[in-house]
Amino acid sequence: MLARYRAHVLSLASFCLFSSAAFAQITAVEGDVKGPDGQPVKGASILIERQDMKGVYKGAKTDKRGHYIYNGLPIGTYKISVIIDGEVRDSLEKVRTTMGDPVPVNFDLKAKQADAAAVQKTLESGGELTKEQERGLTKEQIEALQKRAKENREAMAHNKALNDAFNGGNEAMLAKNYQAAADSFSKATELDAKQPSVWASLAEAEGQLAKTQTGADQQASLEKGIAAFQKAIELKPDEPGYHNNYALALANAKKFDEAQAELQKAAELDPKNAGRYYYNLGALLMNTGQNGPACQAFEKSIQADAAYADAEYQLGLCLVAKATTTPDGKVVPPPGTVEAFQKYLELAPTGPFAQPAKDMLATLGGTVQTQYQNPDAKKAPPKKK
């Protein structure tokens, strides 16, 4: 009887031991979920996936305080994810549960946003991510971030080189070191061939360089400048300034017909400044001996800008070239000649052509007025060209 009783006690002790061991294998996780605004998130779902063997545990949700708890997990390694509005917003892998108190796993989406910026900054600077920064990121995500960071670093380095070359060209232009300027702008076009302003700057540098050269070197620089302007216009065909400057480059290369077409295009694109473009066209035509068309261009310049004093003076000179002489030696200018010189003096009585205009009026027998009450008399003429 005693033996049977002892056996029963041993059996009972053994049962309790095994039961305790089995109970000890059951663990839990709990935590708090905060949204991007830093406030608790109610109703967020918690997904628990076992990583050391198959197993998925669902059903846990956050309460109004943003708190959740999941009991009854076997000891193991888990990936814990928080799901809001059907989207996984954050995850933590390799969570190892243990006996005793629940393992805390919190999710702070506001901090996560700040962490994401810190991760990007770390990667862009060439640093390594900490374990905390890798939280919730898969290997593929980390690799994608590293790839993007590398691309950003390369883009920043490229942009710096481009800006350095462009700024170096501008500094060389100010110093009138046109060869260095052309070299710098040329390097900039190699770094980025899609920047019209870079091509236009290269064209200007080549044009200025040509003025310091002679012979084959000069011709080569002129051709390079023309090619650069063509590229700038190809990239930005609606920029009137490019057409105007391209026309002047063409004129320097004695390509007058093409230059006229470009100035006409500039005037069409920019009616507000058409006076300046037609003035340039008139000057170009006069320099090539095309006096009739030159007069028409200066008239268009005045029509576009009635206050353009220089255009009045040039129109007067243009008309003087058509003057005739009577048998007794008197000069007979075409209609409008005297008026053009008088208008110049009205607009710019102290301008650079004031004395030549007076001299022409004296020669032609016109009246020289020395004082005018024009409200625009002190207005500076547009800069040339």
Query: pLDDT of 265-275, one tens digit each?
Result: 999 999 999 99
Lowest mean pLDDT among 44-48, 128-132, 240-244, 363-367: 128-132
User: Are 179 and 70 within one domain?
Assistant: no
Q: Domain for residue 123, yes or no?
A: no
Q: What is the pLDDT of residue 59?
A: 87
DSSP 52: S
| pTM (predicted TM-score) | 0.57
Q: Is residue 129 part of a domain?
A: no
* Amino acid at residue number 18: F
Lowest mean pLDDT among 130-139, 166-175, 253-262, 286-295: 130-139
**Phi, psi for residue 307 in degrees, rounded to 5:** -100, 10
Distance CA 239, CA 284 (A): 21
Instruction: Compute the distance between CA of residue 305 and CA of residue 54 in angstroms, rounded to an integer.
Output: 84
Residue span of the structural domain in which 13 resides: 2-111
Q: Is a pLDDT exceeding 70 seen at residue 245? A: yes
- Residue 13 or residue 171, greater confidence: 171
- Residue 124 included in any domain: no
Residues 243 and 233 both lie in one domain: no
Same domain, residue pair 260 and 342: yes
Same domain, 230 and 255: no
pLDDT of residue 132: 61
User: Domain ends where: 179, 202, 237?
Assistant: 237
pLDDT of residue 156: 84
CA–CA–CA angle 340, 346, 352 (5° rounding): 85
Mean pLDDT is lowest, of 2-6, 34-38, 67-71, 377-381, for: 377-381
Query: Does 132 fall in a domain?
Result: no
| Average pLDDT value for residue range 91-108 | 91
Q: Distance between CA atoms of 319 and 297, rounded to whole angstroms?
A: 12
The count of domains in the chain is 3
Residue 336 pLDDT > 90, yes or no? Answer: yes
Q: Give the residue from 237, 252, 271 where a domain finishes.
A: 237
Q: DSSP character for 313?
A: H
Q: What percentage of the chain exceeds 90 in pLDDT?
A: 57
Q: Indicate whether 228 and 297 sit together in one domain.
A: no
pLDDT at 369 over 80: no
- The confidence band for 107, taking pLDDT boundaries of 50, 70 and 90, is very high
Q: Mind giving me the DSSP string for 159-223?
A: HHHHHHHHHHHHHHHHTT-HHHHHHHHHHHHHH-TT-HHHHHHHHHHHHHHHTT--HHHHHHHHH
The whole-number pLDDT of residue 100 equals 86
User: Is residue 119 included in any domain, yes or no?
Assistant: no
> The domain that contains 62 carries what CATH number?
2.60.40.10
Contact 224, 242 (CB under 8 A): no
Task: Give yes or no: residues 247 and 350 share one domain.
Answer: yes
**167 and 87 within one domain:** no
In this prediction, residues 352-358 reach a mean pLDDT of 94
Residue 20's pLDDT band, with cuts at 50, 70 and 90, is very low
Q: What percent of the chain has pLDDT over 70?
A: 81
Which of residues 187, 205, 237 is at a domain's end? 237
Q: Mean pLDDT over all residues of the chain?
A: 84
Mean pLDDT of 105-131: 69
What three-state secondary structure class fits 325? Answer: strand
CATH number assigned to the domain comprising residue 226:
1.25.40.10
Q: What is the pLDDT of residue 128?
A: 58
pLDDT of residue 342: 94
Residue 363: per-residue pLDDT: 87
Same domain, 218 and 327: no
Amino acid at 161: A
Average pLDDT on 330-348 reads 92
